[in-house]
A = this chain, B = another copy of it.
């Protein structure tokens, strides 16, 4: 069952390395504590994804102990790391990969300010241009859902399908983000906390000035198509 074509094996190895390394961005930006939080990445050209093991410290993550899963969230037997359990959020990641084929990466954290908005089930209004660039408008709140069935994954997909935002604030829980690959989803996790913090602080001393919708649209379209060294491209949604 771990006998993949050389092309798929090369993709798996690349995604293992990316996912292991990208967890370091979660600690670098203070988005996680202890063993909380997780990053996953889809393996291009296969019905597989790679995710963090459950309850393992950030200092101990390596490409080899990342866990290769099928799209039902089951660890592929015999693959490196498969002697451990995958992240307890694996079912939610798997649901997203099954239902949003354009998604190549998923991230979940309990980052402080995003959790605070989530605890109030309140979307973050788009009052800073950086949010318009990155999320194209407000960052939505999702439903209350608990681990144990498909309800978290379903809540993510129902909220983000057809939405510009790559981030959802699951009620009383925290942010889940998606992206064209794991790095893009990690970037969204960094940016949702930045937006959550900046808008929280802005609102503590008064009401932010709204940004007209057509300006939000213009900023979003430019950023997705022009910013950086190659157009961002997004997820063709």
Contact of A227 among B55, B204, B229 (CB under 8 A): B55
Residues of B within 8 A of A129 (CB): 146, 172-174
Residues of B within 8 A of A10 (CB): none
CB-CB contacts of A207-237 with B at 8 A, as 1s and 0s?
1110100010011001000111100000000
> Smallest distance from the beta carbon of A177 to chain B beta carbons, Å?
13
Contacts A119-B198, A194-B110 hold; do A128 and B206 have CB atoms under 8 A apart?
no
Contacts A110-B130, A148-B222, A218-B146 hold; do A120 and B207 have CB atoms under 8 A apart?
yes
**In which size bucket is the chain A interface?**
35 or more
**Is B130 in contact with A209, judged by CB distance below 8 angstroms?**
no
**How far, in angstroms, from A54 to B127 measured CA to CA in the complex?**
23
Contact of A147 among B118, B119, B146, B219 (CB under 8 A): B219
**How far, in angstroms, from A121 to B128 measured CA to CA in the complex?**
11
**How far, in angstroms, from A226 to B90 measured CA to CA in the complex?**
13
Pairs A–B under 8 Å by Cβ, sample size 20: A33-B194, A34-B191, A54-B227, A55-B228, A55-B229, A88-B227, A110-B198, A115-B130, A115-B198, A116-B199, A116-B204, A119-B198, A119-B209, A120-B206, A128-B173, A129-B172, A144-B215, A146-B219, A148-B218, A200-B201
